[in-house]
Amino acid sequence: MSSYPMGLDPYVSRQCLLHHMYSPLVSVHSSPAADAFLQSVVNAADTSVLSILKPYGNNVQYPIPNQSFKITNNQLITKNYPSFPVRFDFPLQDLLSIASSSSSDHSSSLQQLFSISSLERLLKELPFDANDDLYLAFFNKVITSNSIVAFHTFNHPISQIFVIDYANDSVDYLRARIVEFRNYRFPPFFQINDLLVHAFVVYDENAVGASELAAFEADVNNKLSVAVTFIPVVFQEPEKSASQVEILVNQNSTIDEDLQRISFGSTPDHFMIPTSVDRSLRGSIHQFISQQLIPHMEKKVRLWDDQILAPKRSITNRFFSASRKLFNNNNASDHQADTSSFNYQENYYHKSSPEQSIRKLADWSLILKDFKYSYSVYDLIKKDYNNDKAWIYVASTQEMCIISLLLVQTQLANNLGVSPDRNTLRRIRNDIIEPYLDNLSYTYKSRLNLKTYNLRTLLVVVELLQCMCSTFKMYWWWIDLIEKYLVKCVQEFDAHLIASNQSSQVIKAIIYERLGFVFGKISVESMVQIDHQEQEKPPEEEGLYHNPYKIRPKRVPYIVGSGRFRKSSTWYLLSIKEWLALEKYDHIKVLLSNIRYSFDLELTDNWYNRSDLLLGIIKRRLVDQDKVPPLEVASS
């Protein structure tokens, strides 16, 4: 029963969310010499330093022995975490140029998070086996993005890394690259002073000594005030390399990047790297994260908390805020334009404004896994955004209020299996989740025409609600809300693709699968009860005749009605209907096993196997196509 129905564990979705969306983004600029050196090491002329570093940002998949990351929050409570993934990405200038080139003009219009048409096309062209979890691929593509916007600072790089080659690049070259970077004209909402500038130096371990490395590091520190992480590489000829490790190249890739890779056709999806280089990269990146990146983030978070947030929370500030509202009530609309630092034409707060800094404080706190503190900051700053009528910030902050609250509730390390009381559940649902989602959906879709942001929010909230259900065994409280939001997603995807003369067959099929999984997973172990004890004879009453030859019914597993297996099967059948049009017969066979508690899998003479009903049509198509072993047809 544990494998019924087959589908993605919501806690895997939660982990992907923290890895691909709410993790530090580190932009990487590599010198041509560093690219050439590592290309010779991995024997791949079409690779780059970024493509090599990118997979190693996921230190869950590429850890070191006894890996641990120590994080201290604002309450000076230190916790150790087994992983702390980062996202290595293109140089910041490239990310900004991509964003500006995708915009047709520089007006107040904002760009979509992703192209729905491209997502549908990618899912159709994506090669997969019958047992692959397509929902995981779909969910990862929806949440993976490197677009930089003012109101969502998770994609603002926290660090800029310059990768140089010790043998061919000098300190002067590094200085020139840093000066060029700092002189770039960044958007007015991006604060470059919050960026950690760092240097990675690759070198041949057999050709460079420890004293030379120490002298080079001291030279960089004295002249540039930049810390250095060395990456030792033992250069070997490809045929002499003893052992190699396979590294995937599509880690944290966006929809457009995957489509480009598929269009090239011959582009490999992995490369081989020597084991010694693999070990060196893991250790050096762990050193950078634990000794440079996390301390930098902790320092900034404490600074913003002391200098910006604490005065804002003080009684004096509240008194003056109330006084301004009281005495400026008559001309509030005229006075607001003078006091607000929000740019209404381009929808951003300036980088020096406290509103922009506090938003970054909340985002960085969530990255550092202090979910409870980040929720309190989001809830506080949301009121200022609302007063300024900065609707895009209001919607984004309401989204993060919901997500941070659900992350707190689903943090397995903190809960002891005690479910929240009904009053807490009512407040979470009726005062936060439902009204906030209604409000932000209206803002994203109607005010700003950002339907993809709304879709991402709905899918993320649905997965976190499933985690709530799984943790506290309370599907009955959230199941209708989960169904409502997933059906909304289907309607939104359909409406967009139909307007573009397309059909959302794959997206619709995947979401229908998820709906079937949600209803079929309602505490399956408690819904299906199996009694293996022998049935005791009922007590005999005096004066009544008892037939000694009477056959007593055997005790069989029975299903409690709240299991909702029939509704789960209905969603699976609707999903199979979409896959049938795409002729994915192997995948259909896998999905049919998820309806076995409601319908026979054989083509019997039951009413639901009629030739004019969906299940009967599906079974006959499978037999006709001969994609699965023929099903027995029961004799009538």
- At 78-131, the pLDDT tens digits run 999 999 999 999 999 988 887 666 554 444 568 899 999 999 999 988 877 766
**Confidence (pLDDT) at 354:** 94
Q: What are phi and psi of 272, to 5 degrees?
A: -100, 140
**Confidence (pLDDT) at 596:** 82
Q: Which of 396, 343, 323 has its CA nearest to residue 366?
A: 396
| pLDDT tens digits, 297-308 | 999 999 999 999
SS3 content of the chain, % helix, strand, coil (to 5): 55, 10, 35
Residues, the chain: 636
Confidence band, pLDDT 50/70/90 cuts, at residue 558: very low
Q: Match 């169904």 to its residue by tokens.
A: 483
Q: Is the confidence at residue 333, as pLDDT, over 80?
A: no
Q: Is the confidence at residue 147, as pLDDT, over 80?
A: yes
**Confidence (pLDDT) at 255:** 92
| pLDDT tens digits, 173-223 | 999 999 999 999 999 999 999 999 999 999 998 888 899 999 999 999 999
What kind and span of H or E run contains 160?
strand 159-165
Query: What is residue 152's DSSP assignment?
Result: B
Cβ pair 131, 169 in contact under 8 A: no
**Confidence (pLDDT) at 99:** 66
Confidence band, pLDDT 50/70/90 cuts, at residue 337: very low
Q: Is the confidence at residue 282, as pLDDT, over 80?
A: yes
Q: Is the confidence at residue 414, as pLDDT, over 70?
A: no
Beta bridge partners of 248: 270
Tokens standing for 406?
A: 């659900």
* Max mean pLDDT range (39-53, 113-127, 451-465, 501-515): 451-465
Strands 342-343 and 348-349: antiparallel
Q: What are phi and psi of 19, to 5 degrees?
A: -85, -40
What number of other Cβ atoms are within 10 A of residue 607's Cβ? Answer: 9
Beta bridge partners of 414: none
d(CA 428, CA 405): 8
| pLDDT tens digits, 418-439 | 777 888 889 999 999 999 999 9
Confidence band, pLDDT 50/70/90 cuts, at residue 272: confident
Beta bridge partners of 247: 271
Q: Which of 211, 156, 564, 225 has its CA nearest to residue 364?
A: 156
Cβ neighbourhood burial of 395 (10 Å; 0-12, 13-18, 19+): buried
Query: What is residue 633's DSSP assignment?
Result: B
More confident residue, 577 or 635: 577
Residue type, 313: R
Report the chain's mean pLDDT, rounded to a whole number.
85
- From residue 62, alpha-carbon distances to 12, 281, 434 in Å are 17, 10, 39
**Confidence (pLDDT) at 394:** 97
Q: Is the confidence at residue 472, as pLDDT, over 70?
A: yes
Tokens standing for 526?
A: 């408690």
**Confidence (pLDDT) at 105:** 46
Q: Which of 24, 72, 26 has its CA nearest to residue 198?
A: 26
| Cis amide prior to 311 (ω within 30 degrees) | no
Beta bridge partners of 351: none
Determine which of 335-339, 568-572, 613-617 has the lowest per-residue pLDDT on average.
335-339
**Confidence (pLDDT) at 556:** 44
More confident residue, 582 or 177: 177
3-state secondary structure of 446: helix
**Confidence (pLDDT) at 133:** 82
**Confidence (pLDDT) at 234:** 82
What kind and span of H or E run contains 312?
helix 310-313
Virtual torsion, Cα 589, 593, 594, 597, nearest 10 deg:
140
Q: Match 């590094």 to its residue by tokens.
A: 174
Confidence band, pLDDT 50/70/90 cuts, at residue 611: confident
Confidence band, pLDDT 50/70/90 cuts, at residue 281: very high
**Confidence (pLDDT) at 532:** 47
**Confidence (pLDDT) at 72:** 94
**Confidence (pLDDT) at 104:** 46
Q: What are the helix (H) ranges across 433-555?
A: 434-442, 451-472, 475-499, 505-520, 524-527
d(CA 632, CA 561): 30
492-502 average pLDDT score: 87
Confidence band, pLDDT 50/70/90 cuts, at residue 46: confident
What number of other Cβ atoms are within 10 A of residue 124's Cβ? Answer: 11
- From residue 9, alpha-carbon distances to 14, 35, 69, 271 in Å are 9, 39, 25, 29
Q: Is the confidence at residue 324, as pLDDT, over 60?
A: no
Cβ pair 352, 307 in contact under 8 A: no
Q: Is 347 left (phi over 0), alpha (psi -120 to 50) or beta?
A: left
Cβ neighbourhood burial of 9 (10 Å; 0-12, 13-18, 19+): middle
Tokens standing for 591?
A: 């999905």
